[in-house]
Amino acid sequence: MQVLELKPLKNKKLKIKLVESEFPVDWSLEVPNNQTEVLGDTFFISRQYLALITDLIKKERPDFVVEDKGIRPFVETNGDDEFVKIFSEEGIPYSLVDIPEYALDYISLPLTNKKELIEKFDVEIKNYKEKRTVYYNDLHFQQLVLWKQYLKDEYKEEENEIRYKIREAWMMMGILKFAKLLDKRHLVTLFICDKRHFEGILFLAKELDIECDIINIKKIAKNFDKATSVSGIMKKSVIEIMPIKIKKKPKEEKIIYFFDTDEYCSPFDTNMGYDAGFDVVLPFPRMTADRVEKLVQDAMFSRRMGAPTVYFIGGSNVEESDKIADAVLNALVPPFESPVIIDPRGAHTTASAIVAKTIEIARMHRINALANKKLVILGGTGPVGQICALIGSKLQAKVYITSRREKAVKSIAEELMKKAGKGASQINGVVVITDEEKFEVLKDADIIWSVGKAGIQLVSKKLMKRLPSNKIVVDLNLVPPYGIEGIKPNFNNKEFCSGIYGIGALEIGRLKYKIENKILKEATTRKGKVIFDYNIAFRYAAKMILGSEIEIIH
């Protein structure tokens, strides 16, 4: 008894020519027994298709030929079969491939039980209808019908799983088994099958390092319009079947180069890259601006122009990340430019999520925009806080960033104003250490964002209760003690003090994930030097939860 096992061929190279069958190949778990069917399990093949296969054999010179069995039984091929005779006359081995009956019986057992249950529902529904008049609002009848439909849908889904994925794997194993028997290093096979299997076979072939070509067929009826009867069509019309060879375009790997300032590249961003569809994520930890130019040039000039290449800049050192981003952008030269994502420690995507989520909740409280609203960012000198300040400033909010270090907070506020540019509102740096200092800056705030380090409480419940109402508060801290005492990570517009509404870290995290995933996927489709930073991240965030993009000044 064979066990399904797919392993790449050793010391052999196989090329599969996928040839579309003349007609769709029937298959189902239950072999049709309706003798009124014209074809039944008989596979008719036209003279034109036989001629096409004959020509393909002469042109391609396959080492062996396999065919999708479908609902035909596994029997010895008949020497009188004209189709089989084509191969035998050329000395080419031929075989049907499919899942063995013992394996199919085992796999389909749960479906057999499910089918019996569906039949019981049919009987129950029939009996119910015979006993009474059924109305549209009959709850019991509704449940019977709904459960039957649910079981039918589930049955069909599981049957299709066998029809395609499982059978295709067994077919591929049959091809590999055939290839192993032949004493040649380079082999070519024709696999004649329903074209609905092409996608699955191509996927398996890629995994097994097997080259594939596709040969579709096109049928043309000539003189058809001149005939007026069946006999006329048979006598005067001509069917031509032409092969259409489709060369699969060589797949270019989607590669993202991940430059991180930290000792180790972030597993979060690495996983995000793979989940977004990149084939290769290349991490470069401990990156500095003076080292990145050479790496970018090597990456750029070693790939075809327009190949899907993306550069991602991360790390907790925001200042160095900015320098790396500038160096990467300066190193890119036409026509080899590629998209660049700037998101050090998730600062750009997280900040964008915070601002967009705040606006969503603010609108529920009749605050339509952040313009002229006092916005206090606790722990605002960190990566997320700085980007929050930039977006808030560009949205014309009255921005205050806080820190325990006076020199640092003043200096960072000045640098942020330079980055914000003309038209942005003032960013103020404020020193807060004591509760009284915190109270003074928070009492007239409309919006409070707590973005300090994990596990550090910045505002106590006692202080929160002293504050006037009509405030929206975001706490990014997911590690207790939380940044704002009283806010839990799952809060979403939750009133936790009188007139003060909280948004927790989980709500921000969910949106941040969606934004980064969107950026990564979008970057693979874009050509040239496209910069994905907080400007684009915030536009995406606003579109996701507000329904329309919000432009911020550049």
Give the tens place of pLDDT for each residue, 444-458.
Answer: 999 999 999 989 999
**Of 214, 246, 278, which residue is a domain's last?**
246
DSSP annotation of 344 reads G
Q: Is residue 34 part of a domain?
A: no
Residues 91 and 60 in one domain: yes
Last residue of a domain, one of 213, 246, 279: 246
User: Shortest CA distance to 504 belongs to which of 349, 353, 364?
Assistant: 353
Domain identity same for 285 and 340 = yes
Phi, psi of 94, rounded to the nearest 5 degrees: -135, 145
My answer on whether 338 and 228 are in the same domain is: no
Distance from C-alpha of 520 to C-alpha of 522, rounded to nearest angstrom: 5
Task: Please report, for residues 93, 213, 278, 404, 428, the alpha-carbon distance to residue 190 in angstroms, rounded to integers and kept in the order given.
Answer: 11, 10, 32, 73, 72
Helix axes 383-394, 347-364, angle to 10 degrees: 50
Which CATH number covers residue 447?
3.40.50.720
Locate the DSSP E strands across 298-453: 309-314, 340-342, 374-378, 398-403, 427-431, 447-450
Domain extent at residue 195: 13-27+40-102+158-246
Considering the domain boundaries, does residue 5 fall inside one? no
Instruction: Write the pLDDT tens digit of every residue in 103-114.
Output: 888 888 888 888
The reply to whether 214 and 340 lie within a common domain is no
201 and 61 together in one domain: yes
Phi then psi dihedrals of residue 41, to 5 deg? -100, 15
Residue 32 forms part of a structural domain: no
pLDDT of residue 112: 84
Q: Do 468 and 481 belong to one domain?
A: yes
What is the pLDDT, as a whole number, of residue 227? Answer: 61
Q: pLDDT tier at 36 (50, 70, 90 boundaries)?
A: very low
Let me know how long the chain is. 554
Question: Are residues 481 and 373 located together in one domain of the fold?
Answer: yes
Contacts of 234 (CB under 8 A, 6+ apart): none
Residue 464 domain-assigned?
Answer: yes
CB of 9 within 8 A of CB of 176?
Answer: yes
Residues 6+ apart with CB under 8 A from 368: 362
* Number of compact structural domains in the chain: 3
Cα angle: 542, vertex 544, 547; to 5 degrees: 70
**Are residues 264 and 216 located together in one domain of the fold?**
no
Identity (one letter) of the amino acid at 353?
Answer: A
DSSP 137-205: T-HHHHHHHHHHHHHHHHHHHHHHHIIIIIHHHHHHHHHHHHHHHS--SEEEEEEEE-GGGHHHHHHHH
Query: How confident is the model at residue 235, as a pLDDT?
Result: 58
Q: Whole-prediction pTM value? A: 0.61
Closest-CA residue to 358 (of 542, 83, 490)? 542
Strands 500-503 and 492-497: antiparallel
Q: Is residue 128 part of a domain?
A: no
User: Is 112 inside a domain boundary?
Assistant: no
Using DSSP's 3-state secondary structure scheme, residue 94 falls into strand
Nearest to 473 by CA among 457, 440, 495, 441: 495
Give the chain's radius of gyration (CA, Å).
33
In terms of domains, do 88 and 169 share one?
Answer: yes
In angstroms, rounded to a whole number, what is the distance separating the alpha carbons of residues 54 and 144?
55
Residue 124 lies in a domain: no
Q: Is it the case that residue 77 has pLDDT exceeding 80?
A: no
Q: Are residues 313 and 177 in the same domain?
A: no
Alpha carbon distance 433, 384 (integer Å): 20
CATH of the domain at 263: 3.40.50.10280
Task: Please write the tens of the pLDDT for every residue from 262-277.
Answer: 999 999 999 999 999 9
> Taking residues 323-341, what's their average pLDDT?
95
> pLDDT over 90 for what percent of the chain?
63
Backbone angles phi, psi at 240, to 5 degrees: -110, 135
In this predicted model, what pLDDT tens digit does every residue of 367-424 receive, in sequence order? 989 999 999 999 999 999 999 999 999 999 999 999 999 899 999 999 999 999 889 9
- Please identify, among 246, 273, 303, the residue that sits at the C-terminal boundary of a domain: 246
Query: Can you tell me the mean pLDDT for 128-152?
Result: 81
Residues 483, 501 share a domain? yes
State whether 71 and 189 are in the same domain: yes
Classify residue 521: in a domain, yes or no: yes
